[in-house]
Chain A
Amino acid sequence: MSNRSEPSVAGRIDVGSIRTAGVYVALYGTAFLFVVPYLWMLSTSVKPRDQLFSQVPHWIPSTITFEWYRQVLAGSIIETWMLNTILIATATTVIVLVFDSLIAFSLTRLDWPGKNVVLTVIVASFMVPAYVNIVPLYTLVADLGLLSSYWGVVLPLTAGPLGVFLLVQFFRDFPDEIEEAARLDGFSSLQIYLRILLPLMKSPLTALALFTFVTTWNQFLWPLLVLQSEGSYTLAIGLVTLTSTNVFQPGLTMAATLIASLPLFVVFLLLQDYLIDAVQIQGTTG
């Protein structure tokens, strides 16, 4: 009462702390909503049969059962699918890393006629959306006799321009002095690429590898079109067929989705920063 400025100071603190509280409520509230689907998946996957079909949702089952996991794993086809997916994603990633780094090296460090045209065409091909080519690509893969072959899935996925574009940005900044010094020491282009450039470019290469692996792992339509026997399916398409034959088996479905998403979650938890870097790099170069 004696100091007239006091209420306004208190008011300012209040506004500040109310705002901070608001930010916390909004952020953690949204985060909670984001986690709900995971919690429901987990809860459903360990729920006994009678509680799955209840009008009132049981968040915490009275007894925890691993029956659904046992059933999914006993079928063992899901392991085959996981193996197929690992195989396809690994092959794609390796090819992308090798092919993209070779051409990015060539485009930035070597001089040859027509290379600017080539780079322009590759960059322009960014504008080709994923689904535009699907019909002609399908006929091409069929003509090549690659339907129901893993190569039919993998090779078209390695043709994307993103990796080339990303690596060109990084290789361009590679200091000329190092290259000159290596040439004076009698290094060939291949040696410079293998022994100097690749080791120094470890982090963009890792980011590209992770990004390629995750996006290939998650491919849906293309493997669905190419792979035609159940034994050759990837996880993404296998899961959908699995559940369409198991109508009203929520426990089984959720156990299967949890098992299917586990490998990528492990990758995510271990390499979170790299993966987020990869997305950021894509965002800042794209």
Chain B
Amino acid sequence: MSIATRITGRFQRLKGVTSGYAERESLEGVLFALPYLVVFSLFLLYPLLKGLYMSFFDWNAIYPSESEFIGFGNYARMLSDPLFWTSVKNTVYFVVLTVPTLVVLALFLALGVNRNVKGKKALRAVFFSPYILTVSVVTLIWLEIYGAQYGLLNYYLGLIVANPPDLLNSELFAMPAIALTTIWWTLGFNFVILFSARQSIPGRLYEAAKIDGAGSWNTLRDITLPQMKPALLFVTVVQFIASFQVFGQVFIMTGGGPGNSTETIVMYLYDIAFQSHEFGYAATVGYFLFVVLVGVSLVNYLVIGRNDE
């Protein structure tokens, strides 16, 4: 709230002691806020606390009152669970495959479209449009492309190598295939944000650089990239958080297989919660995810915060 409103608010209060203006404003304020506060507390805050509570129990999914308190049992189990560590490893692999590609490629495309190319708007639409699709639509299209027998990709791969692998049934290629699908699907978000960040760099900086005789490489290094740093950091962190929680693509395309080669953390969480009904243990894995992602967000706030000074 601005100082002006605060002062007038105070003035109103002094003036309106008799009319009870401040009390009425407080009441109104709470009433206006109430509908959201109810859904927020009930469906966001309460589950967050309940998840922590559940993580200390061997939770009985059918008769919750018969759940057994086991302290840090679920946490100990998680840390010694090989499948959990496999899912962490696979998730990190997926993050490594997608995050740098999605940031760098989006940056290149954003800088390219920013030049005076023809068909700017059409290009923007093409790069952005997959982002509006449902994960089911995206994966079903790519399943047709990856199909081992009549798939599009394998035909063209077959022209280059003798026996192209069945990508989604290969422990080596399943995760990269899911990553490629994800890149097509979500690049548009990063592209739009980086494009708008590039557009908001003041033109006079480039004019000054031109007068100084700076080449295009120097301009990129000394003006474009530093000016875009907050946007690049934002995109990287949001992308990291999204990639770290990859689920739908894996669930539909491979179900975590072949072997456990595409089992990711959220896929694993889904399996223990809704296949094995081990809610307490699943809540524990959820909290692990929470701690990792909060850590990333905090580091991000610190870095961007320092950058803004």
Contacts and interface: CB of A to CB of B under 8 A. Distances in A.
Given A132-B286, A133-B286, A279-B192, A161 B33 contact: no
With a 10 A CB-CB cut-off, give which of A115, A127, A272 has the most chain B CB atoms.
A127
Contacts, number: 281
Given A128-B290, A261-B133, A272-B125, A283 B193 contact: yes
A136 B193 contact: no
A196 interface: no
Interface string B146-164: 0101101001000000000
A250 B144 contact: yes
B17 interface: no
B269 A129 contact: no
Interface residues of B, number: 100
Given A27-B112, A136-B50, A283 B32 contact: no
B1 to A, nearest CB: 7
Given A127-B294, A140-B46, A221-B248, A110 B279 contact: no
A23 B120 CA distance: 12
A193 B22 CA distance: 18
B153 to A, nearest CB: 10
Interface string B122-152: 1111111111111111001110110101101
A233 to B, nearest CB: 11
B53 to A, nearest CB: 8
Interface string A206-237: 00000000100110110001000000000111
Given A55-B155, A106-B32, A276-B124, A156 B43 contact: yes
B32 A110 contact: yes
Contacts of B145: 37, 40
A272 B120 CA distance: 14
B72 interface: no
B238 interface: yes
Interface of B: 1-2, 4-6, 8-9, 22, 25-33, 35-37, 39-40, 42-48, 50-51, 54, 61, 64, 105, 108-109, 112-113, 115, 117, 122-137, 140-142, 144-145, 147, 149-150, 152, 155, 184, 189, 192-193, 196-197, 231, 234-235, 238, 241, 244-245, 247-248, 251-252, 266, 269-270, 273-274, 279, 282-283, 286-287, 289-290, 293-294, 297-298
